[in-house]
Amino acid sequence: MGGYRAPLRDINFLLQNVFEAEKVFAAMPETKEVTDDLISAILDEAGKIAEQLLSPINQSGDLESCHFENGKVTTPKGFKEAYDAYVEGGWPSLTGNVNYGGQGMPKVLSAMIEEMFFGANSSFCLYTILTTGATLTISQHASEELKQTYLPNMYAGIWAGTMCLTEPHAGTDLGIINSKAIPNSEGNYDVTGTKIFITAGDHDLTDNIIHLVLAKLPDAPPGPRGISLFLVPKFLVNDDGSLGDDNGVVTGSIEHKMGIKASATCVLNFEKSKGFLIGELNGGLSNLFTMMNYERLSMGLQGNGLAESSYQLASGYAKERLQGRAAKGPKLTDKAADPILVHADVRRMLLTMRANTIAGRALSLYSSFQLDIARFHPDEAERIRAGQLVSLLVPVQKAYCTDRGFESCVLGQQVLGGHGYIAEWGLEQNVRDARISQIYEGANGIQALDLMGRKTVRSNGELLGILFKEMEGFIESSKHIEALAEGLTKLEFLMGELKQATNTVIEKAKKDPDEIGAASYPYMELMGLTLFCFMWQRILASVHLAKVNNDGSEDYLNGLLGSGDFFMNRILPKSKTLLEEIEAGAKSLMAVTADQF
């Protein structure tokens, strides 16, 4: 049993060799000073926080959980001290708007920090990412007065942030929320309603909590078109910037959950709480999606982080646990048994974890680069292209990385056998903590439906065409690498399967709209598998180049080659069954009547 170790070597290889981050950032004036050396230095420090501050309080925080007494929430022992150290290091301002005290760093950098923090302590990380997402929304959509009032203290970590969407009767279908915003005599709004499942809705880490709340005016249009977004602080802010009166934000309770127990998930009651409009009236949902895209990316990073943590525990255990003998004869003749790593099925589980974790990290970086290009690139056409890619990639990255992340946690638990089921080793906590990543910020079924419906059928495959151009460009530029020939052929074949599936659903949906929902999940998995294949081909191309240039440890590079080979030969063939499932259509799904369930 050991603590989390920041996977800096893998991360730096992806950033420097695969994606050539320094070149990407050099092309954009606002990020041109973000060099490989700067990235490595920042990631090194973040890795120390993950290893030395967050990992040691992960299991104890899970055991203690949050406390709710007399209407107040307190976090487990050690969390406040860890948060204060996090703030002292300036981490809350990393990607913030430089005009209000932020550092203006790219999402690519914060994404890898989030992955490490999630791997070390998912509950703690949730407090930090909610504030980051809230500041992004305020920075992009709020008035100058609200930015000046709230962003500096949020970037300083003195105040935190949340987003408040879900209500007892309204989860995915936000169009039916009941929370009301009534205009008041001060030119603002009195917000009333109940929100549930509010991550970091109340805690003792900061002096104030700034809630972004969806609500409707009494005369608002019905459905999603009538939703507005309001900034509702826990405590009002005086004209001189000091904290004022309590704002009627009452914590009703905290949830008792399967996992992320040290993260306070709250029921919040807004009792005529003063709210300040963000953006235009009735434009709240689109404005909040600025935050949602980043939060969904973060959920994929949670899946990656916990998969990495589980892999570290499982691979270390497999090297030490002695059980049985290797099929070809004893490896440790002086011992009563061999390490379980000699067994093919244990290797299957570990290599599945390793191959998917590396690909998931690469896909998360690829998506993050598109977010940065859409934000910073001086060429409007490049910003538009990147934004279109983001809209296609985020639902896949969120759903596929969290599915594979949970799978990796379960596989790690299986490697440990009985030891994986008890609390001491930490695998059972990883399983519990990872499970929520498939549910919140839009359940994975909703992500798949968004991908299949809005991003594919409604766009007539246009967004997929943009992705295919990226893939085709890579294939053309890599044909000279002889060792990639077979892999590139497989990628082209997979692209063909995805195109076939896309055309099939688009045509079928013209006659039967149920075809969209029937195909959505296997379609998301097929696209995820295709993207993982694309990522692995990019990784393997960089590995071969590094070997030619004698750049890096031969053993490390060969390990990447082995993991990539396993992915291409043992995981990729699953695409065939996914295509069959998609083409099977909606008939068998919709034929069973409600009474027959």
Give one DSSP letter per residue of 296-352, joined into a string.
HHHHHHHHHHHHHHHHHHHHHHHHH-B-S--TTS-S-TTSSS-BGGGSHHHHHHHHH
Report the alpha-carbon distance of residue 58 to residue 81 in Å, rounded.
13
Percentages of the chain per state (helix, strand, coil), in multiples of 5: 65, 10, 25
Q: Kindly provide the b/e burial profile for residues 22-48, where b requires at least 16 CB atoms within 10 angstroms of the residue's own CB.
A: bebbeebebbeebeeeebeebbeebbe
Question: Which residues participate in catalysis according to the annotation?
Answer: 441
Structure tokens at 360: 């998931």
Report the alpha-carbon distance of residue 507 to residue 505 in Å, rounded.
5
Q: Kindly provide the b/e burial profile for residues 88-122, where b requires at least 16 CB atoms within 10 angstroms of the residue's own CB.
A: eeebbbbbbbeebbbbbbbbbbbbbbbbbbbbbbb
Q: Are 154 and 135 in contact (CB under 8 A)?
A: yes
Give how far Cα 55 sits from Cα of 59, 63, 75, 528, Å. 8, 14, 16, 30
Q: Which has the closest alpha carbon to 259: 3, 58, 80?
A: 58
Residue type, 519: A
Strands 159-164, 208-215: parallel, antiparallel or unpaired by DSSP?
parallel
CB-count exposure of residue 382 (10 Å: 0-12, 13-18, 19+) = middle
DSSP three-state, residue 278: strand
Token pair 């570990």 is found at: 350
Count the Cβ atoms, other than its own, within 10 Å of residue 373.
24
Token pair 């040691």 is found at: 56
Report the alpha-carbon distance of residue 520 to residue 524 in Å, rounded.
6
